[in-house]
A and B are shown apart, each in its own frame.
Chain A
Amino acid sequence: MTDTTSNPQADTARASELGAVARFLKATEIDTRMLGMVGALLIIWIGLHVISSLRLGVNPLDFDSRTFLTPRNLWNLSVQTSAVAIMACGMVLVIVMRNIDLSVGSAEGLIGMVMGFAQVHFLVRFVGLELGNPWIWVLALVIGLALGLLIGAFQGFVIAYLEVPAFIVTLGGLLVWRGAAWWVTSGQTVAPLDATFQLMGGGPAGSIGATWSWVGGIVACLAVGFALFNGRVQRKRFRFPLRPIWAETLLGVVTCAVIMGAVWLANSYPWPIGIVNRYATANNITIPEGGLFIAHGIAIPVLMAIAVGLVMTFITNRTRFGRYVFAIGGNPEAANLAGINTRWVTMKVFMIMGVLATIAAAISSARQNSATNVLGTLDELLVIAAAVIGGTSLAGGSGTIIGAMLGALLMQSLQSGMVLLGVDSPLQSIVVGAVLVIAVWLDTVYRKRV
Chain B
Amino acid sequence: MIDKIVPAATALIDMRNISIAFGGIRAVDDASIDLFPGEVVALLGHNGAGKSTLIKILSGAYKRDAGQIFVNGQEASISNPRDAKKYGIETIYQTLALADNVDAAANLFLGRELMTAWGTLDDVAMEAEARKVMGRLNPRFQRFKEPVIKLSGGQRQSVAIARAILFNARILIMDEPTAALGPQETAQVGELVKQLKSDGIGIFLISHDIHDVFELADRVCVMKNGQVVGTARTTDVTQDEVLGMIILGRCPPGAIPGPGALKIAA
Contacts and interface: CB of A to CB of B under 8 A. Distances in A.
Interface of A: 234-235, 237-238, 240, 314, 317-320, 323, 326-331, 333-340, 397-398
A327 B102 contact: yes
B100 A330 contact: yes
Nearest to B120: A318
Q: Which 10 pairs, one residue from A and one from B, show the smallest C-beta to C-beta distance?
A: A330-B101, A339-B82, A397-B101, A327-B99, A338-B111, A334-B97, A330-B99, A339-B111, A338-B110, A318-B120
Given A235-B124, A337-B61, A338-B111, A398 B81 contact: no
B121 A319 contact: yes
Given A320-B115, A333-B95, 5 more contacts: A323-B106, A323-B121, A331-B97, A337-B91, A339-B80
Contacts of A327: 99, 101-102, 106, 110
Interface residues of B, number: 30
Interface string B65-87: 00000000000000011100100
B121 A338 contact: no
B110 A240 contact: no
Residue of B59, B97, B101, B115 with highest tally of chain A CB at under 10 A: B101
B121 A340 contact: no
Contacts of A334: 95-99, 110
A431 B143 CA distance: 42
B93 interface: yes
Contact of B81 (A240, A319, A338): A338
Given A320-B115, A331-B98, A237 B93 contact: no
Contacts of A318: 120-121
B128 interface: yes
A426 B98 CA distance: 47
Contacts of B95: 333-334
Contacts of B147: 330
A237 B124 contact: yes
Contacts of B101: 326-327, 329-331, 397-398
B241 interface: no
B99 to A, nearest CB: 4
B127 interface: yes
Contacts of A335: 99, 110-111
18 contacts: A237-B124, A319-B121, A320-B115, A320-B121, A323-B102, A323-B106, A323-B113, A327-B101, A330-B101, A330-B102, A331-B99, A334-B110, A337-B81, A337-B93, A338-B97, A338-B99, A338-B111, A339-B82
A336 B59 CA distance: 12
Contacts of B98: 331, 334
Contacts of B120: 314, 318-319
Contacts of B124: 234-235, 237-238, 240
Interface in B123-137: 124-125, 127-128
The B interface is mostly helix, strand or loop, or mixed, namely loop
B85 A339 contact: yes
Contacts of B125: 238
Residue from B61, B110, B119, B127 having most chain A Cβ neighbours under 10 A: B110
Contacts of B85: 339
| Interface of A (DSSP majority class) | helix
A340 B82 CA distance: 8
A240 B110 CA distance: 22
A318 B123 CA distance: 8
A42 B33 CA distance: 66
Contact of A333 (B59, B97, B111, B121): B97
A165 to B, nearest CB: 22
Contacts of A238: 124-125, 127-128
Contacts of A397: 99-101
Contacts of A331: 97-101
A340 B99 CA distance: 12
A287 B111 CA distance: 64
Contacts of B59: 337
Residue of A237, A337, A339, A340 ringed by the most chain B CB atoms within 10 A: A337
Which among A237, A319, A320, A331 has the greatest number of chain B C-beta atoms within 10 A? A331
A235 B124 CA distance: 7
A215 to B, nearest CB: 26
B229 to A, nearest CB: 28
A86 B16 CA distance: 54
A210 B134 CA distance: 54
A330 B82 CA distance: 20
Nearest to B82: A339
B130 to A, nearest CB: 11
A327 B106 CA distance: 9
Contacts of A337: 59, 61, 81, 91, 93, 97
A336 B82 CA distance: 9
B50 to A, nearest CB: 19
A334 B99 CA distance: 6
Contacts of A329: 101
A338 B96 CA distance: 11
A336 B91 CA distance: 13
B67 to A, nearest CB: 21
A398 B100 CA distance: 10
B83 to A, nearest CB: 9
B59 to A, nearest CB: 8
Contacts of A317: 121
Contacts of A323: 102, 106, 110, 113, 121
Contacts of A319: 119-121
Given A327-B102, A334-B98, A339 B81 contact: yes
B121 A240 contact: no
Contacts of B128: 238
A397 B147 CA distance: 11
B239 to A, nearest CB: 33
A391 B19 CA distance: 46
Contacts of B106: 323, 327
